[in-house]
Amino acid sequence: MANQEPLRLTLKNICLLQPSYSSKNTIEMQKRGVLIRKDLVHDIRSFEHIISNELGEFGNDLIVQASDGIGRKTESPWVRFASKRMSPNPREGYYFVIHFNRDGTAVFLTIGCGSTVWKDGSLTPLSAKELEKKTAFARRAIMDANNSLGSYIDKIELFAKAPLTKSFELATATAKKISFNNIDKTDFVSLIQEGAYQLYNIYSESIIGADLSEDLQQQFQIQKIINPSASYGGQGFNLSGAERKEVELRAMTVASEWFSKRGYHVKDTSHHHPYDLEIKRDGVTEKVEVKGSTSTSLDSFMMTANEVNLHRSENGKTHLVLVSNIKLEKGNSPEAWGGDVEVLSSWDINSWNVVPTVYRISTKGDK
């Protein structure tokens, strides 16, 4: 068992300084800064082997970072650990983070997320509603793997007034509250181990883009083709061509089975036509568009110009099948399974927003 006494002492000393909070760099805040940025980081790194083991494939690039405020001191200092490729900075991805409430009466061990998303080429702040979707995704990933949230079932309350601290609370997916009086009796090794495993559960889902909308997944793929050396905010998400093909094939299988069970004869037309399936029943032939994604929700997706033109010209006469939440085993021989299906018959493309996402630029002489 790792020695957790230094960590306990550091946490208590930070809590004791919290009631003396000032936005200015007072003596008390200087002491707190050293405890947060030096001692607490060192204490967390002393558990690096345990944390890396629980993070599994995501434990080989562990980072530990802390902040007590840039310039003006913050009411709620923090320290976090994460996989660098999955969460390169506190604005992106998911991570384990320790927070302190304003009056120093409690410490919170939490799983939190960044409050921005990479959209249209830049980091964009998330709304409260969007943050709730991200934290809900994290809880769902943990629940799917463990059937419970374990020890992390408490509500985070930091009692601070600053907007930044409020965003910390909104960006918290799970939390374990430890009162000041219980610090010496708490098994922090087990709790950090549990939290790291929860983070592994989340990373295992986000690495396949489950927390990203399908159009964001597509935007990342497009931008990586346009500029492979650039870094985009996909938090580790990157599907190979073979992996994306496996997701598409799984969606086609789910859609085909859905129609077959309802008495349709199903034909795959995806290689030669701007629609994926041709279905026939009672002498009537219809066209079907199939979209599949590892995203837990599929309310947006990409289409080619030919696909858009087809569904506009035959508006209300085609079907749209959305297969979300497809699970994927990444690797040299990827395998996809599962998927939640939604079938929209007599699909009206004009009731959806159709937004140009990427342009092909050619010389004026290119016809």
Confidence of residue 236 (pLDDT cuts 50, 70, 90): low
Read off the DSSP letter of residue 73: P
Report the b/e string of 67-104 with b at 16+ CB within 10 A: bbbeeebbbbbbbbbbbebbbbbbbbbbbbbbbbbbeb
Overall size of the chain counted in residues: 367
pLDDT value of residue 161: 80
Token reading at 323 = 């297969």
Confidence of residue 1 (pLDDT cuts 50, 70, 90): low
Residue ranges covered by each domain of the chain? 5-206, 214-351
Contact status, residue 292 vs residue 247, Cβ threshold 8 Å = yes
The dihedrals phi and psi of 184, each to the nearest 5 degrees, come to -70, -20
Tell me the pLDDT tens digit for each residue of 185-207.
Answer: 999 999 999 999 999 999 999 99
**pTM of the predicted structure, to 2 decimals:** 0.83
Asked whether the predicted pLDDT for residue 360 surpasses 60, the reply is yes
Tell me the pLDDT tens digit for each residue of 20-72.
Answer: 999 999 999 999 999 999 999 999 999 999 999 999 999 999 999 999 987 88
Asked whether the predicted pLDDT for residue 266 surpasses 80, the reply is yes
Q: Which CATH topology does 5-206 take? A: BirA Bifunctional Protein; domain 2 (3.30.930)
- Tell me if residue 65 falls in helix, strand or coil: strand
Contact status, residue 99 vs residue 78, Cβ threshold 8 Å = yes
Q: Which CATH topology does 214-351 take? A: Trna Endonuclease; Chain: A, domain 1 (3.40.1350)
